[in-house]
Amino acid sequence: MQTSAPCARSGAPEPSPLTPFTSGIEATLAKNARMVAEQVAASLPDAETLLASLPPGALEGSPDTYTRHLVHADPFERFSVMLLVWRPGQFSPVHGHRTWCAYRVLRGTMYERHYRWDPESRTASQVGAVTREAGDTFSVPAGLQHIHALGNASDDVTVSLHIYGVEQSRISTGVNLLVDTVVS
């Protein structure tokens, strides 16, 4: 299989004859992630019923980092559903995704910082932020086109539901694509 060769002048790879095809596949996968988020918004049971299904103490979280609770593992290993519990001040690292992800805020408020990837410096710079309230649902495609950090900037515990396009044993290694950031 032939890959792109570096361009003599800029050092950037020349486009491959497969570029239109692979770009189309990437767009389709991004659309699928949005469709998952729409399904979450349309069919998820009410948050309190879902949260009541967790074991006692699970909603307290951990003082060290946000916690993840597996609530569903697809029997065909196509996706996993996790409840994440965020204590005040807990944030994820800045990351893109190795797979698609959809999430919904079930309780509290999430703060999401957005970043833009610079392939030349291989770093990401913050370009904005948004607050997501209980009931907000969002999707993220695989790759570096949506780099973010999620967290809880409030004084109360926040709980979010995340659906990842990996089977349960790959949650810790197959989801987040950690990136370096530029400090401004």
What are the tens digits of pLDDT across the range 166-180?
Answer: 888 888 788 888 999
pLDDT in tens, 113-171: 999 999 999 999 999 999 999 999 998 888 898 999 999 999 999 999 999 988 888 88
Nearest to 141 by CA among 69, 46, 34, 66: 34
Task: Look at residue 3 and tell me if it is in a domain.
Answer: no
11 part of a folded domain: no
Residue 3 predicted with pLDDT over 60: no
CATH of residue 136's domain is 2.60.120.10
pLDDT at 9: 44
Does residue 5 lie in a domain region? no
State how many domains the chain has: 1
pLDDT digits (tens, 9 = 90+) for 39-88: 877 777 788 888 887 888 889 999 999 999 998 899 999 899 999 999 99
Measured distance CA(159)–CA(72) in Å, rounded:
16
Distance CA 135, CA 42 (A): 11
**Is 9 a member of any domain?**
no
Which residues form the domain of 72?
19-178
What pTM, to 2 d.p., does this model score? 0.80
Is 168 within a domain? yes
* Residue 14 is assigned to a structural domain of this protein: no
